[in-house]
Structure 1
Amino acid sequence: MNYKNLFLCLLMGATLSASNTFAYTELKPLEENQKVSQQLVEMLERVHYNKTAIDDEISLMAFDKYLSSLDPSKSFFLQSDIDSFAKYKLTFDDALRSGDTSVAYVIYNVFLDHLEIRLDQLLKTLPSIVKNFDYTKKESLTIDPDDIQWAQTQSELDEVWRKRIKNRALILNMNGKSEEDIIESLTRRYKNQLKRIEQTDAMDIFQIFANSITLSLDPHTSYFAPRASETFNINMSLSLEGIGAVLQQEDEDTKVVRLVPGGPAATQSDLAPNDKIISVGQDGKDMIDVVGMRLDDVVDMIRGERDTVVNLEIIPSKGNGQTSKIISIIRKKVKLEDQSAQKHIVEVEREGETYKIGVIKLPTFYSDFAAIQAGDKNYKSSTRDTKKLIEELRKENISGLILDLRGNGGGSLQEANALAGLFIPAGPTVQIRDASGRVNILGDQDRSVTYSGPMAILVNRMSASASEIVAGALQDYGRSLILGGQTFGKGTVQVLQPLDKGQLKITQAKFYRVSGDSTQHKGVIPDIAFPSLLDEKSVGESALENPLPWDQIHETRYPVYWDIPSMTSKLTKAHEDRIKKDPNFISVLEQIDYIKEKTEGIKSISLNKQVRTEQQETGEQDEIARENKRRRALGLEEVETIDDITPADEDSYEREAGEILLDFITLNQ
């Protein structure tokens, strides 16, 4: 379990004292977890890629992570509490090794005492708190985590809570909620949080403690207690059955990491990576606040029966970070055919002639294992489907091929290896180095080449894992131009290890390109960059805490077909000249500049309704103006409201990739 910033607040000056008491169940270590603790130490030290000793250095990091897991926004503990815990800083490693995890429960019970007292008092005083809010007052709330420190006194902490709850009340107020509605919504929020706290058990605390250790090694090594283990097995990589989104916990927030291609969220709504989900509601029922809720509880609320509706209140990442909106998604099962490779043709005009550029969109690297096991010779796989589509495109006399891997989060390693082989004769495609330093080289054994002509691969920050293997291999071979944005940078391999109670997902190996460069952390850098609204600083491996570093090993032997680096300066200049005149790219560039101007360096937000309303209205007017500027340039009908705006023309990226391919062909004639 992970309590991430439960936003609580008491009326300014209504301080808490040690004399306040509230009944709660003090949690104690489970004897059954002693064996699991010792198993964890043994596996982490023996199996993990770095083979790091679980020692005092790890204990220091784990101590900070444990406190952050309990109270990430510094809402409950005082500095005096932190000072009293200092004696435990070097004991976390010893606790895990011995199996005596009492230290985790000592700290948690202090947290629980503070939290339940505050929740109890808040529920009694909430109506008067909300009724005393003055939205005309000029004050602000600090939102930069680096500026938030442990409070020295209860009154200082009470003031922080007052401002945080005022911010939530202001959002509801600006969404048209009455004072009574706001009180009811917030009361329901804290009652639900109190209920979840009361349902917390000793195993939940053990999981938080164990993960304070595992996450000190790298962000992808995690311990799953039995309940979380079951959820993980059902929802691989936390992919939500029903809406098709991958979520992660970030402080108190539930953040969208990526959308599953072909899933309901990707096709029905404007949910996007980096959006924050702040409340969830079933169709026809009240919204329930999920700020501070444990991730598996949020997953349970969003998951539901097929063809039912779930409502999500989100704070969009592309906005000002201060305004929420509600979107509705009909739950559907993501079918294999929805994620299958698809083809189409982009026509590019050049000097009076029309050139056909084939485009294959590959959302994921898939293989129908059930059909394979059943002996079906016509089973679907990303490689087989892509090969068939290439053969069909070749019959249409294409001049070049674009493989679109944008948003492709990976999948089958075998499929990635086989798909890269469609474009090269037999040869290595990826190196895998294990914890012992042994390097295993995977490669294509089939000397036939399905397509040998000019090609480009489109990638972005959400292209990860298997996508990075394919893009990296074909870039090293000089076989394909890589266009778009820096990829995710996940170059590690995890395996699941069963334990006496639950299971451990542990990083066991790293991927390396045939050139010897790791795909970890850096990802694949495109030959020619395209502008993107995805913030590479907040998305990707480098945005995670404690990622394994980028490094190199020996390169393998492989041929280079085209000297692409020698051409990139000319190709880049022509590309940049074109997008400066393209209305779609101009709009994206202006939006990037606008978001940077409005969000970069922002450390606080106003709690004044007039200021917030003006900011919201200005933002909407600016967005409408940008869209209409784009539409006028394209000869399209202008829009009047922000709701009339549809996503920008994604085909502009494919057309520009086609233009670059034609430039490439010209340079090589």
Structure 2
Amino acid sequence: MLSNRIAALISGLSLSLLVVTSPAVLAADTEELKPHEDQGGTAREIVSKLEMLHYNKLKVGDEMSAGLWDEYIDSLDPTKSYFLSSDIDEFRQWRTKLDDDLRAGNVDRGFDIYNRYRLRISDRLNNIVSQLENGLPEFDFTKEESLELDREDSAWPKSISEADDLWRKRLKSSVLNLRLTDKSDEEIADLLKRRYKGQLKRLSQQNSDDVFELYMNSLTRLYDPHSNYLSPRSLENFNMSMSLSLEGIGAVLQMEDEYTKVARLVAGGPADRTGKIKPNDKIVAVGQDKDGEMVDVVGWRLDDVVDLIRGSAGTFVRLETIPTGGDGSHRTITIKRSKVKLEDQAAKKAIFEFSDGEQSYKIGVINLPTFYIDFEAYRRRDPNYKSTTRDVARLLDELQKEGVDGVILDLRNNGGGSLQEATMLTDLFIDQGPVVQIRHANEQISRHNRSRSRAMYRGPLMVLINRLSASASEIFAGAIQDYNRGLVVGNQSFGKGTVQTMAPLKEGQLKITQSKFYRVSGDSTQHAGVKPDISMPQLIDSEQVGESAYDTALPWDRIHAVRHAKYFNLKDLVPTLSKKHEKRTAVDPDFVFLRKQFEYQSERADRKAVSLNEQARIQERENLNQEILAMENERRKAKGLEPYESFEAYEKSESEDTAPVGGPTEITLEDDPVLNEAGYIMADFIGLKKHANSPQVANFD
């Protein structure tokens, strides 16, 4: 499951065997953190606003207290590596009392648990740094042993010796990972020493605001994953991330255990344009400019990593990453920072020809990375303000003048944006009618988001989605599907069907879920997302990415449908289109490769343990590399291309910097088998619709 431990400040550090001191004595450089008076009042405010304003209407009682206790300890120690079972037994007496504390404005127990956690880390870090001053401990890398990768169902260590053995394996794994990147023992010892000293420094910089935010977010996550408390510092970062003046790489990051992980790429941003960073990639080091020293960021606070990556437009930053689904080897990517401009995210078009076997058709493709609007120009009443709908309307007009037979609207990786734009965009393709229903926390249902004009484009339409199509994308795709206005093709979408608002607090603000989206059919877009009429091979693991991957995501449900038109009789066409699609892709080299690649990556993701035997790991990496090479060469041979002579040759071609330095990328079919196949589905759709003589606006319900 996608971790709900985003708020963890320091967790899962790869440390060594050492002695755990008594909890009664703090490490010399570690002081207990205590709440300040205003935080009690803020805690009462948060409880009150959650109970009154949140869509879920949950009451903070004993059951919620137990959930808070579980979530807080899990956010601190997700790998069950810091606390001893005796610590957990001691804390368990408070499991159903935290709700009473919060109502009384008392957060002391949250701080008590955190201070024990901080003590455990401080002791471990100080001891490991002391050991590393004399070089690496001796490890037997010929021994057959392994390290658990997923300790969610494991118990906390019952004794110091049991904890020591776990840390011995964790440090051995860290050393082995670095040995496999061809680092010497001296380099490894130096890197780990600097890593843990840095973590000690950041640990000493923790303050009561950090602890309070972590504790409160353990509560808000019980309501849903998108509600959270923002401390004054986090609020400043949040406001900066929402500003058009933000300069950086255009990536949304989150914490998972000790790593900073890429959660999402901003469409059209610098990272997106490299084509070399994917969701779930882990960032292990950051370097400034093209030759600056790489700074290890494993175990860093999320906002500190963001500060290191963020910088002025025109400067360069280097990221050392561990690509998802790989063998654990590292890749360094150079990115030129820039502002994410509206022009970079603007809709663009292209025209391609496809045949259904009998006739060729001109298919227009409009790529839409996000639902954008220049609010500042709109508020100034600038008649030329830039927006999604205005740009797509212009492109549609151009495509129709160029005589296209059908249009594909590509919403893959479109994480959403303006609800107003999603509604207005739908207006270009349907006549008057509702687009989305919104149910609020007070159970009132709003249906004001409507199409108000006659459709501008009435021809064959396809909407292309994938797992990263979310929010506004799902509203648009759901409306097109419910109206039978066009085909929806691709993968099940993200499933983010909730709306958040900001509520002011005595200190900071509360981002709180207050509404939920529903399609005109009555189905929620929450959790389940939009399911395509015709499916493409899965490229993103839905167990790792998507609303359903969050433990506390609000459930799917439905309300009453609203009266809406049905434009085409798609139900009779989809089975034939699906058969043609399956027949083509069963032998298509690119689709064979994509399916094999996903299956192989899924198998690796399911691993429960990793070997600590060096030769076994080397052999595992060699097997993985050969498997990747074999899959790629099978694809190349089937396409009449020269196979790679070695994995090194393949890797070199993959690492070559061919990505554009700036500006929006062009729409091409090369290296995009999904778009290419979508074109053939559209050609079949146009041909079948002609033969079926399917009427426009077949009926109403």
TM range (shorter): over 0.9
The answer as to whether partners of 1:72 and 1:252 remain within 8 angstroms in 2 is no
CA change 1:353–1:20 in 2 (3 A) is same
Aligned match of 1:367: 373
Residue 141 (structure 2) aligned to one of 135, 144, 147: 135
Aligned match of 1:303: 310
Aligned match of 1:651: 672
Aligned match of 1:47: 53
Which range is displaced more, 450-459 or 275-284?
A: 275-284
Q: Could you tell me how far 1:161 is from its partner in structure 2?
A: 1.3
Which range is displaced more, 181-190 or 306-315?
A: 306-315
Separation (CA, whole Å) in 1 of partners of 2:450 and 2:17? 67
Separation (CA, whole Å) in 2 of partners of 1:115 and 1:249? 18
The answer as to whether partners of 2:20 and 2:120 remain within 8 angstroms in 1 is no
Residue 394 (structure 1) aligned to one of 397, 400, 403: 400
Any gaps of 5 or more consecutive residues in structure 1? Answer: none
Aligned match of 1:589: 595
Aligned match of 1:179: 185
Work out whether 1:201 is the aligned partner of 2:210: no
**2:58 is aligned with what amino acid?**
T
Aligned match of 1:426: 432
Q: CA RMSD in A?
A: 2.1
Deviations 1:430-456 (A, max 9, x none): 000001110001333432211111111
Work out whether 1:666 is the aligned partner of 2:675: no
Work out whether 1:609 is the aligned partner of 2:636: no
Work out whether 1:441 is the aligned partner of 2:447: yes
Q: Could you tell me how far 1:166 is from its partner in structure 2?
A: 1.7
The answer as to whether partners of 1:16 and 1:154 remain within 8 angstroms in 2 is no
**2:632 is aligned with what amino acid?**
E
Deviations 1:8-41 (A, max 9, x none): 43347x5545697522211111101122112111
Secondary structure, in 3 states, of the residue corresponding to 2:587? Answer: coil
Separation (CA, whole Å) in 2 of partners of 1:59 and 1:205? 18
Q: Structure 1 length normalisation: TM-score?
A: 0.96
The answer as to whether partners of 2:415 and 2:469 remain within 8 angstroms in 1 is yes
The answer as to whether partners of 1:269 and 1:327 remain within 8 angstroms in 2 is no
The answer as to whether partners of 1:347 and 1:655 remain within 8 angstroms in 2 is no
The answer as to whether partners of 1:623 and 1:642 remain within 8 angstroms in 2 is no
Deviations 1:318-372 (A, max 9, x none): 314x333322222121111000000001211344643111000000000011222
CA change 1:628–1:293 in 2 (3 A) is same
CA change 1:21–1:424 in 2 (3 A) is closer
Q: Could you tell me how far 1:617 is from its partner in structure 2?
A: 2.1
Deviations 1:293-321 (A, max 9, x none): 2221221121122222222222211314x
Separation (CA, whole Å) in 2 of partners of 1:207 and 1:15? 27
Which range is displaced more, 183-192 or 462-471?
A: 183-192
CA change 1:184–1:618 in 2 (3 A) is same
Work out whether 1:26 is the aligned partner of 2:32: yes
Separation (CA, whole Å) in 2 of partners of 1:342 and 1:285? 36
The answer as to whether partners of 2:355 and 2:683 remain within 8 angstroms in 1 is no
Work out whether 1:405 is the aligned partner of 2:415: no
Q: Could you tell me how far 1:128 is from its partner in structure 2?
A: 5.2
Deviations 1:389-429 (A, max 9, x none): 01101111111110000000000000000001100001100
Aligned match of 2:293: 286
Deviations 1:80-113 (A, max 9, x none): 0000001111122122211111111111111122
Separation (CA, whole Å) in 1 of partners of 2:202 and 2:323? 27
The answer as to whether partners of 1:520 and 1:550 remain within 8 angstroms in 2 is yes
Separation (CA, whole Å) in 2 of partners of 1:666 and 1:269? 35
Aligned match of 1:641: 650
Q: Could you tell me how far 1:649 is from its partner in structure 2?
A: 4.1
**2:626 is aligned with what amino acid?**
Q
Aligned match of 1:630: 635
Q: Could you tell me how far 1:178 is from its partner in structure 2?
A: 1.1
Which range is displaced more, 493-502 or 265-274?
A: 265-274
**2:465 is aligned with what amino acid?**
V
Residue 521 (structure 2) aligned to one of 515, 525, 532: 515
Q: Could you tell me how far 1:532 is from its partner in structure 2?
A: 2.5
**1:315 is aligned with what amino acid?**
I
CA change 1:21–1:506 in 2 (3 A) is closer
Aligned match of 2:567: 561
Q: Could you tell me how far 1:130 is from its partner in structure 2?
A: 2.2
Aligned match of 2:176: 170
CA change 1:516–1:397 in 2 (3 A) is same
Deviations 1:254-285 (A, max 9, x none): 22121111111111241101112223232434
Aligned match of 1:93: 99
Residue 230 (structure 2) aligned to one of 219, 224, 229: 224
The answer as to whether partners of 1:240 and 1:302 remain within 8 angstroms in 2 is no
The answer as to whether partners of 1:4 and 1:72 remain within 8 angstroms in 2 is no
Separation (CA, whole Å) in 2 of partners of 1:377 and 1:31? 51
Residues 71-110 of structure 1: matches in 2 within 5 Å? Answer: 71-110=77-116
Q: Could you tell me how far 1:236 is from its partner in structure 2?
A: 3.4
Separation (CA, whole Å) in 1 of partners of 2:449 and 2:596? 43
Separation (CA, whole Å) in 2 of partners of 1:179 and 1:508? 54
Q: Could you tell me how far 1:174 is from its partner in structure 2?
A: 1.3
**2:303 is aligned with what amino acid?**
D
Aligned match of 2:334: 328
Q: Could you tell me how far 1:625 is from its partner in structure 2?
A: 2.3
Secondary structure, in 3 states, of the residue corresponding to 2:317? Answer: strand
Residue 323 (structure 2) aligned to one of 312, 316, 322: 316
The answer as to whether partners of 1:5 and 1:75 remain within 8 angstroms in 2 is no
CA change 1:661–1:352 in 2 (3 A) is closer
Deviations 1:137-195 (A, max 9, x none): 22211002334321111111111112112212212111121111111110111111111
**2:320 is aligned with what amino acid?**
E
Separation (CA, whole Å) in 2 of partners of 1:456 and 1:468? 14
Work out whether 1:271 is the aligned partner of 2:271: no
The answer as to whether partners of 1:420 and 1:474 remain within 8 angstroms in 2 is yes
Separation (CA, whole Å) in 1 of partners of 2:576 and 2:357? 19
Any gaps of 5 or more consecutive residues in structure 2? Answer: 1-6, 659-668, 691-701
Separation (CA, whole Å) in 2 of partners of 1:93 and 1:519? 32
Which range is displaced more, 271-280 or 305-314?
A: 305-314
Deviations 1:545-573 (A, max 9, x none): 21000000000010111132332222111
Q: Aligned residue pairs: how many?
A: 666
Secondary structure, in 3 states, of the residue corresponding to 1:641? Answer: helix
CA change 1:209–1:232 in 2 (3 A) is same
Work out whether 1:482 is the aligned partner of 2:488: yes
The answer as to whether partners of 2:176 and 2:614 remain within 8 angstroms in 1 is yes
Deviations 1:476-505 (A, max 9, x none): 000010100000000000001111110000
Identity over the aligned pairs, expressed in percent? Answer: 49
Separation (CA, whole Å) in 2 of partners of 1:300 and 1:576? 47
Secondary structure, in 3 states, of the residue corresponding to 1:493? Answer: strand
Work out whether 1:243 is the aligned partner of 2:273: no
Secondary structure, in 3 states, of the residue corresponding to 1:522? Answer: coil
